[in-house]
Amino acid sequence: MADTVPTRIPRDKDDDYTDAMMAARRGFVAERTGASLDHVGQSHIDPGQLPGNIENAIGAAQVPIGLAGPLMLDGDHVGPDEEIFVPLATTEGTLVASYNRGMRLLRECGGARVTIIERYMQRAPVFHFDSARDVRDFGLWLGAHFDGVKQAAEATTSVGKLSHI
């Protein structure tokens, strides 16, 4: 077994994000498993928009989308009189209904005041605090100790890079 060359997923080093390459990979799966991926190939996603978002793309999956709301928020980009409806893609029964109940309770207590501090990809970990001041103090501590946190985080992976907290 050690002498065998592993089978490689079809790739195109010049342009791997094309309909033809997605079809080639679907054919690769079908050839090895007998599974038909016709539905996965019926997508309106432009493969040219996928670099940096997915590797070895074969298509897309359809997920039912429900609508929850209205949500009552008062924030930087939304006023308290604006109704916000939230689309939720899921196959988890009662999830949309649960969100609807939560949004109704939020409305009945006067809504929520919100703000956006920054926009970044977040992976983990999650920290819980007793107060907003504790969050602020922790954020200040992280800023002062960023280099050490970065070194510790990057020691856990060969590919991940901490660029921002």
Per-residue pLDDT tens for 104-134? 999 999 999 888 887 766 677 789 999 999 9
- At CA 146, angle to CA 142 and CA 152, rounded to 5? 105
Residues 6+ apart with CB under 8 A from 57: 17, 21, 22, 25, 47, 50
Tell me the Cα Rg of the chain.
23
Q: What is each CA distance from 22 to 38, 56, 63, 98, in whole angstroms? A: 11, 8, 20, 37
- Angstrom distance (rounded) from CA 159 to CA 155: 10
Name 96's Cβ contacts closer than 8 Å, sequence gap at least 6: 66, 67, 68, 88, 90
Q: How many CB atoms lie within 10 A of CB 74?
A: 15
pTM for this model (two decimals):
0.55
Provide mean pLDDT across the span 35-41: 91
pLDDT number for residue 6? 83
Residue 145 CA, chain-centre distance (Å), reads 28
Q: 165 falls in which pLDDT band (50, 70, 90)? A: confident
Q: Is the dihedral of CA 35, 38, 41, 44 positive or negative?
A: negative
